């Protein structure tokens, strides 16, 4: 390895953002238990997609209130229930497709066009259902 060796580093925005948020927690300016809706009001009306399988193998999607508000800690632990929406099959993915969340975005992860298109997505599209 030399000083100019290039490494691929993927998805570093989450850990960097988490470190910044933990600095605010350490300073007493935020608490992990705080609901995200305190800072992003649109999270106060979030719904959870509950898939109901039908006898024919299909499924319906019911939108229901979450059991508890999404907290800052949930976002850091990836336990908020927010999905990227482009993995797997099912009613949740269909809802993403029907809402055109990923229209024009290739899911081939390493293609330059996929990266350009994904970079154009508003983070609001990641909020799911």
Active site residues: 11
Token pair for 122: 């508003």
Alpha-carbon gap, residue 27 to 11, rounded angstroms: 26
Largest CA distance in the chain: 60
Judge residue 46's burial from the number of C-beta atoms within 10 Å of its C-beta, 0-12 exposed, 13-18 middle, 19 or more buried. Answer: buried
CA distances from 69 to 22, 46, 49, 50 (A): 20, 9, 15, 16
Token pair for 36: 């995200």
- Sign, CA dihedral 85-91-95-97, equals positive
């Amino acid at each position: 390895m030399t000083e100019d060796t290039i490494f691929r580093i993927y998805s570093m925005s989450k850990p960097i953002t988490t470190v910044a948020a933990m600095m605010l927690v350490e300073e007493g300016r935020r608490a992990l238990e705080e609901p995200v809706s305190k800072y992003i009001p649109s999270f106060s009306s979030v719904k959870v997609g509950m898939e109901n399988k039908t006898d024919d193998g299909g499924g319906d999607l019911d939108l229901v209130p979450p059991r508890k508000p999404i907290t800052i800690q949930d976002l850091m632990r990836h336990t908020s229930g927010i999905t990227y929406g482009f993995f797997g099959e099912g009613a949740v993915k269909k809802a993403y497709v029907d809402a055109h969340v990923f229209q024009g975005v290739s899911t081939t992860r390493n293609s330059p066009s996929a990266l350009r298109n994904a970079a154009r997505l508003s983070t609001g599209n990641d909020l799911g259902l």
